[in-house]
Amino acid sequence: MNEEQRRLVDAACRQRERSYSPYSRFRVGAALLGRSGTVYLGTNVENASFGLSICAERAAICRAIADGERAFTAIAVCADGGQPTPPCGACRQVLLEFGPDLVVLMAGNRGADGPVLAATAGELVPLAFTDFSANLADERAGASGEEQGPK
């Protein structure tokens, strides 16, 4: 793990402290590195109707998109517990939307000082359905004249 990745993991672990998780008490923080160098933070936000909860990874992506960032190089996820926790299936699919080479760093409550797993979004979702596999990116570009997907 390089120094930039270590800082990203540490940022995700600090963000975990802001979790709103009164039901599961399982806190998760995420730090998403945009290609611009900006780091976008997110945390899980639970709801009494569990299906309306949002994961830290998707919260960070929503923040980045709202700020105009569209390309990402890495995301760190830090969860309660001693072992790294991989993203849920929904988050894996959303991460993959931004490219199969997006690096996903997964840490437990000790952050960069504990075990950290690393994989790409593509490795986390083998045989995935994406706009690339369906040629949707080409169709969108042809319809509007400009590319809309990841760069």
CATH number, domain of 89, equals 3.40.140.10
Residue 133 pLDDT: 59
Q: What is the pTM of this model?
A: 0.86
Q: Give domain status of residue 38, yes or no.
A: yes
Residue 134 pLDDT: 60
Is the distance from CB of 44 to CB of 28 less than 8 angstroms?
Answer: yes
pLDDT at 141 over 90: no
Residue 128 pLDDT: 80
Q: Give domain status of residue 134, yes or no.
A: no
Closest C-alpha to 55, from 113, 6, 104: 104
Q: How does residue 137 score in pLDDT terms, banded at 50, 70 and 90? A: low
The catalytic residue positions are 57
Residue 144 pLDDT: 47
Closest C-alpha to 120, from 80, 84, 79, 72: 72
Q: What does the longest C-alpha to C-alpha distance in the chain come to? A: 48
Q: Give domain status of residue 23, yes or no.
A: yes
Burial 41-72 (b: 16+ CB within 10 A, else e): bbbbbbeeeeeeebbbbbbbbeebeeeebeeb
More confident residue, 150 or 81: 81
Q: Give domain status of residue 139, yes or no.
A: no
pLDDT at 150 over 60: no
Domain count for the chain, please give it.
1
Q: Give domain status of residue 54, yes or no.
A: yes
Q: Give domain status of residue 151, yes or no.
A: no
Q: Give domain status of residue 101, yes or no.
A: yes
Domain span at 113: 3-126
- Which neighbouring-strand residues pair with 103? 74, 120
Q: Give domain status of residue 140, yes or no.
A: no
